[in-house]
C-alpha cells in the first residue's frame, strides 16, 4: 500500500471517531447527538505527521511550543517515547501525557470551549524533545468548515449563563493563529480570549 493510501485510510477512520466523539460531547451537554454535525459539512480537518529528532540539549529546545489547538478536537496517535505535556490549570505545572500502547490522546480545542460556553476547556500543551530517541506522532485536527461562525450554542445560554464569547469566523481565526504561531516567541498568538465578553 502506498504511504498516501495508508494515510487516507487512517484519516477516514479517525474522521469517524471524531464524529462519534462530537456526538458524545453533544449528548453530555444535553443536546441532540447530531447537534454539531452541521458545522462540519465542509470540514477542514487535517492530519500531520510529526517527527521529533533527538536533541543533544533538550532543555534548550521544544518540539512544539506551548499552544492550544484552534479546532474542535485533536486526535493524537503517539509512539512510546513521550514528550507531550499538558498544563495543569490549578498550579500551572506541565504534566506529561504518558504514552499508553494502542491508545489515542484526545485534546479538546478552542472551538468546543466556545460552543460549550466553557463547560469544556481547551487544553494548553507543548512537546518536549528527548536527548536519545526520535519521536513520531500523528495528530488529526478536527476542524469545522471555514465559514462557520463560532459562538456559544444558543441552547446553552440564558440569562443566568450569558454567552461568554462574541461570534468569530473559524477560517479567519485559524489563519490568524497559524500566522502568529510562526513568529517570534514574544508575539502573542491570537486566542479566543480576544472574543471574550467580560
Ligand atoms: C500539535 C501538537 C502534539 C504531539 O501539532 O498541535 O500539539 O504530540 N502535537 O506531536
Ligand atoms: Ni497541539
Predicted model pTM:
0.92
Q: Is the pLDDT of residue 180 over 90?
A: no
Which pLDDT score, from 0 to 100, does residue 151 have?
Answer: 98
pLDDT recorded at residue 187: 54
Residue with the three cell numbers 536519545: 132
Cα separation, 107 vs 71, whole angstroms: 10
**Residue whose entry in the numeric block shows the C-alpha cell 465542509:** 42
- What was the pLDDT predicted at 198? 78
Q: What cell does 173 get?
A: 481565526
Q: What pLDDT, on a 0 to 100 scale, did the predictor assign at position 94? A: 96
Phi first, then psi, for residue 37 (nearest 5°) are -60, -35
Q: Is the pLDDT of residue 186 over 70?
A: no
Residue among 46, 50, 129 whose CB has most ligand 1 atoms within 8 A, to mutate: 50
Domains and CATH numbers, the chain: 1-195 (2.60.120.330)
Which residue is associated with the grid cell 495528530? 139
pLDDT in tens, 117-170: 999 999 999 999 999 999 999 999 999 999 999 999 999 999 999 999 999 999
Residues 110, 69 contacting (CB under 8 angstroms): yes
Residue 76 Cβ inside 6 Å of ligand 1? The answer reads yes
Does the beta carbon of 125 lie inside 6 Å of ligand 1?
yes
The ligand 1 atom at the shortest distance from the C-alpha of residue 78 is 8
Residue to probe by mutation, ligand 1, list 67, 74, 98, most atoms within 8 Å of CB: 74
71-85 mean pLDDT: 96
- Which pLDDT belongs to residue 78? 96
Look at the chain and count its residues: 198
Q: Is the CB of 78 under 6 A from ligand 1?
A: yes
Could you read off the pLDDT of 33-70 as tens digits, one per residue? 999 999 999 999 999 999 999 999 888 888 888 899 99
The CA-based angle 109-112-114, given to 5 degrees, is 110
Report residue 19's pLDDT band, with 50, 70 and 90 as the boundaries: very high
Does residue 112 register a pLDDT over 90? yes
Kindly give the pairing relationship between strand 84-87 and strand 125-128. antiparallel
Q: Which residue is listed with cell 478552542?
A: 110
The minimum-distance atom of ligand 1 relative to the CA of 105 is 8
- The C-alpha atoms of residue 29 and residue 89 are separated, in whole angstroms, by 22
25 three-class SS: helix
Across residues 106-115, what is the average pLDDT?
97
Question: For 9-13, 150-154, 180-184, 188-192, which range has the lowest pLDDT when averaged over its residues?
Answer: 180-184
Residue 1 pLDDT grade (very low, low, confident, very high; cuts 50, 70, 90): confident
- Average model confidence (pLDDT) across the chain: 93
* Interacting residues of 28 by C-beta distance below 8 A, sequence separation 6+: none
> Quick one: pLDDT at residue 179?
72
Amino acid at each position: 500500500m502506498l504511504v498516501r493510501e495508508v494515510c487516507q485510510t487512517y484519516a477516514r477512520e479517525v474522521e469517524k471517531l471524531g464524529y462519534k466523539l462530537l456526538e458524545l460531547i453533544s449528548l453530555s451537554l444535553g443536546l441532540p447527538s447530531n447537534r454539531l454535525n452541521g458545522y462540519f459539512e465542509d470540514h477542514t480537518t487535517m492530519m500531520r505527521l510529526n517527527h521529533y529528532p533527538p536533541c543533544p540539549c533538550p532543555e534548550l529546545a521544544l518540539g512544539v511550543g506551548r499552544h492550544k489547538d484552534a479546532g474542535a478536537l485533536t486526535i493524537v496517535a503517539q509512539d512510546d517515547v513521550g514528550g507531550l505535556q499538558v498544563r495543569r490549570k490549578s498550579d500551572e505545572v506541565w504534566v506529561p501525557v504518558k504514552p499508553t500502547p494502542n491508545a489515542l490522546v484526545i485534546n479538546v480545542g478552542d472551538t468546543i470551549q466556545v460552543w460549550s460556553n466553557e463547560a469544556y476547556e481547551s487544553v494548553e500543551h507543548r512537546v518536549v524533545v528527548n536527548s536519545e530517541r526520535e519521536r513520531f506522532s500523528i495528530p488529526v485536527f478536527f476542524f469545522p468548515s471555514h465559514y462557520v461562525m463560532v459562538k456559544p450554542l444558543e441552547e446553552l445560554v440564558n440569562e443566568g449563563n450569558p454567552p461568554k464569547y462574541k461570534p468569530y469566523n473559524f477560517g479567519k481565526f485559524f489563519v490568524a493563529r497559524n500566522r502568529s504561531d510562526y513568529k517570534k516567541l514574544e508575539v502573542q498568538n491570537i486566542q479566543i480570549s480576544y472574543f471574550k465578553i467580560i
